[in-house]
Copies of this chain bind each other. A is one copy, B any other.
Amino acid sequence: MAKGNEKQSIDASTEEKIKEAARVVFTRKGFVSTKVRDIAAEADINLALVNYYFRSKQKLFDLIMIETIEKLFSEIKVIITDESTSLNTKIELIVDHYIDQLLNNPDFPLFIVNEILSGSNKFPAFLKNAEMIKGSFFFKQLNQLNSDKKLEVNPIHILVNIIGLIIFPFLGRRVLEKAAGLEEEAFRSLMEERKKLIPIWIGKIIES
């Protein structure tokens, strides 16, 4: 019906502006360091409108976090639940997909880690999804390596390694850029290289 759509597209103009601005500032500075006035400034709207549309800073933050987490895991879900692809293919797809994602939003890992430290209560959403990984076909394939006596280590290690090799450079990005004297572009091409390298490395790690 028209009313719903109109309302969405009209309100969204301000409401979406706030949400998008909040996403940017929260990601850059974290929850505590982000001031409601920062968000209002970034969105170029009146301070009171943030509370008018989202009730509180915390509710706005929660909303963004939940959305982000859901998006994050829904993307990986299609890869890791696919029973028709090999383990190697899945690893290639995961690495490729997340490095792309992170290149578009390089501050994101730092942001997540930041919120973990400050004890964000968005954990349940995160954990619920993390459980999904443990029950996935992908994880079964990882476990299979053990039964096939190809591997004698806890598959958790392999999972941690895959995720770590992808995410860690982004966490250390600012240090890396400055310490290694990398331009932003050089960092980017290093990460592009890793798209091909990480699956190879994991392959070598997995081989008996």
Contact = CB atoms under 8 A, between A and B. Distances in A.
Interface string A158-172: 001101110111011
A107 B119 CA distance: 12
Nearest to A119: B29
A106 to B, nearest CB: 12
A130 B173 CA distance: 13
A168 B167 contact: yes
* Oligomer copy total: 2
Interface stretch (A16-24, A53-61, A93-101, A190-198): A190-198
A174 B33 contact: no
A156 interface: yes
Contacts of A113: 110, 113-114, 117, 171
Nearest to A118: B33
A171 B171 contact: yes
Contact of A168 (B30, B164, B174, B197): B164
A205 B198 CA distance: 10
A30 B118 contact: yes
Given A30-B117, A110-B116, A204-B205, A172 B160 contact: yes
A154 interface: yes
A128 to B, nearest CB: 9
Interface stretch (A7-15, A42-50, A78-86, A175-183): A175-183
Q: What are the 7 closest A-B residue pairs judged by CB atoms, nearest first?
A: A164-B168, A130-B179, A204-B204, A110-B117, A32-B32, A201-B205, A114-B117
